[in-house]
């Protein structure tokens, strides 16, 4: 089975559908979706086996002669478009990949084009615990006092009813 993601004018995934391999053969999947299924829009193939820049296969987990689940196992195959598309994901035309949108509470984060994950614009110091402060766009050292103050502030907002 082949999977296709419908993207809007902003390259945001709106839905993902499954089409038989026979109907998706030779790159005709989007045409089949538009003209035979009557679903308009831009459709881009995605692969449910592609995750985090790797291609995986499902290995059955057996108990006796029954399959009780599946385990992921990485293969040497190239992933299709880096990651399986999900609703709300972004299709990045420049790199021909799907990735998560920028975190809404972290407008300063930048996209790492090797991993297609979002990170603060400044690397995290390695000499102790730090937290990212979006207001100052800096790493702030976490001290016992600041951790306790943050915990108290978060718990005081949750008073019993």
State the pTM of this model. Answer: 0.74
82 touches 88 (CB < 8 A): no
Mapping DSSP to helix (H, G, I), strand (E, B) and coil, where does residue 153 land? Answer: helix
Q: How many Cα atoms sit within 13 Å of 141 on the Cβ side?
A: 6
Q: List the domain boundaries for the chain.
A: 2-102, 120-161
113 touches 99 (CB < 8 A): no
pLDDT in tens, the chain (161 residues): 888 899 999 999 999 988 877 776 766 777 777 777 878 889 898 888 777 788 777 777 788 888 777 676 777 778 778 889 999 999 999 999 999 999 999 999 999 999 999 999 999 999 989 999 999 999 998 887 776 777 777 766 555 55
* Bridge partners for 72 per DSSP: 58
Token digits of residue 52 = 């985090």
Q: Which pairs count as long-range contacts for 16-25, CB under 8 Å and 24+ apart, including other chains?
A: 16/46, 16/85, 16/86, 16/87
13 touches 5 (CB < 8 A): yes
């Amino acid at each position: 089975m082949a999977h296709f993601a419908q993207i809007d004018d902003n390259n945001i995934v709106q839905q993902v559908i499954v089409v038989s391999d026979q109907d998706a053969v030779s790159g005709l999947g989007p045409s089949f979706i538009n003209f035979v299924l009557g679903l308009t829009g831009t459709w881009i193939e995605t692969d449910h086996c592609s995750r985090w820049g790797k291609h995986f296969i499902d290995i059955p987990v057996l108990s006796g002669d029954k399959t009780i689940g599946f385990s992921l196992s990485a293969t040497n195959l190239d992933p299709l478009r880096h990651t399986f598309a999900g609703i709300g994901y972004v299709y990045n035309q420049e790199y021909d990949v799907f990735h998560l949108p920028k975190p809404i509470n972290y407008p300063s984060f930048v996209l790492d084009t090797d991993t297609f994950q979002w990170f603060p614009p400044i690397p995290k110091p390695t000499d102790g615990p730090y937290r990212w402060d979006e207001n100052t766009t800096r790493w702030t050292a976490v001290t016992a006092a600041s951790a306790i103050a943050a915990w108290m502030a978060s718990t005081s907002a949750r008073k019993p009813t």
